A = this chain, B = another copy of it.
Amino acid sequence: MDASIAIHGGAGTIPAAMLDAAIADEYHAALRNALQAGWNVLAKGGRALDAVTQAVIVLEDDPLFNAARGAVFTSAGTLEMDAAIMSGRGRDAGAVAGICGPKNPILGARIVLEHSGTVLMAGKGAEDFLRGQGIPFMPPEYFFSDRRWRALQLELRRREAGAPDTRSDADRHGTVGAVARDLFGDLAAATSTGGITAKPPGRIGDTPIFGAGTYADNATCAVSATGTGEVFIRYTAAAEIAARIRYGKQSLEQAADEVVAELLRHGGDGGLIAIGPAGLPELPFNSTGMYRGFIGPDGVPHTAVHRDAYRRL
């Protein structure tokens, strides 16, 4: 069995023409770090569930991406994070929604999977439960970034003025995620996000919804999505890919490509990463770009932002 991992840092990217070469290098390096953290687990014979956890932790810890440190603000200036993790073996799942506190929300999701007896916990109840489980918490300042705060102020002023929404995907949303297959053939998926800039407090997107933004089933695929969460929920994006594979006899590539195209027809821009029981991951998107990367059997990190060729390093 070949191990493999793919990651994304959100479908919201800066237009190619505006992406400074030095900043592009930063993104590629950050993606490589996350890939390598996941691959280190897989190469040693570790579990896919641990590989996606480690990859997402690296992305959460990096303020370049909209998850944990660097999360975007709600319209009330608060932070509300969602995260989810699912194992394709036994379809164990855990997710948190609308929380602020755990340094790594994905570890919160993992704790929900392993110790809560439930699969989805939200808000203060989730925070209290996780505090009792002893994972690291951080004060609000840790998650704060000037760049996200300015994005919120700009958006609030735009709304007040009734001006048209000219924000790029990058200003609007972002998500991080990983999918992996380990040497035992088990699949796993993990996703984490701060949501959408100036989202209404209480809004939950597709990240913690299994079958929408996060999904894993050894028989078909593991999926982590990023994009217009509401559309991904209404069209059960990830479950739709699995259904086309299981009952429609489509390949992972065909199913993933067609679903991403169909989501766009319904107003859902974004993309996803998907991996099946064999072969390389698929990383389709219908937006200008998607921070993404994968490592296949050769162990070489491939990273990309727009539609140009992957950097191999």
Query: In whole angstroms, how far apart are the Cα atoms of A278 and B91 in the complex?
Result: 33
- Which residues 81-98 in A have Cβ within 8 Å of B in the complex? 86, 91-93, 97-98
Assess whether A122 is in contact with B119, with CB atoms less than 8 Å apart.
no
Q: Give bound CA distance, A122 to B209, whole Å.
A: 13
With A and B bound together, what is the CA distance between A239 and B240 in angstroms? 8
- Residues from chain B with Cβ under 8 Å of A248 in the complex: 247
Distance between Cα atoms of A140 and B215 in the complex (Å) = 37
Number of interface residues of A (CB under 8 A): 48
Contact digits for A226-251, partner B, Cβ 8 Å, 1 yes 0 no: 00001001111001101110111000
Complex Cα distance A120/B127, Å? 19
Knowing A239-B239, A244-B247, A248-B247 are in contact, say whether A203-B234 is a contact too (CB < 8 A): no
Stretch at the interface among A58-66, A169-177, A194-202: A194-202
A202 nearest in chain B by CB position: B125
Pairs A-B, 4 closest by C-beta atoms: A125-B202, A243-B243, A125-B201, A247-B247
Across the interface, do A200 and B234 meet the contact criterion of CB distance under 8 Å? no
Are B123 and A124 in contact, with the CB atoms below 8 A? yes
Quote the shortest CB–CB distance from A175 to chain B (angstroms).
16
Whether A203 contacts B121 by the Cβ 8 Å rule is yes
Judge whether A120 and B247 touch: CB under 8 Å. Answer: no
Q: Is A129 an interface residue (CB 8 A)?
A: yes
Nearest CB of B to A134, in Å: 17
A-B contact sample (13 more), CB < 8 A, given A120-B209, A211-B211: A91-B235, A93-B234, A97-B122, A97-B204, A116-B203, A117-B200, A118-B199, A119-B234, A120-B203, A121-B202, A122-B122, A239-B243, A247-B247
Contact with B along A269-307 (1 / 0, CB 8 A): 000000000000000000000000000000000000000
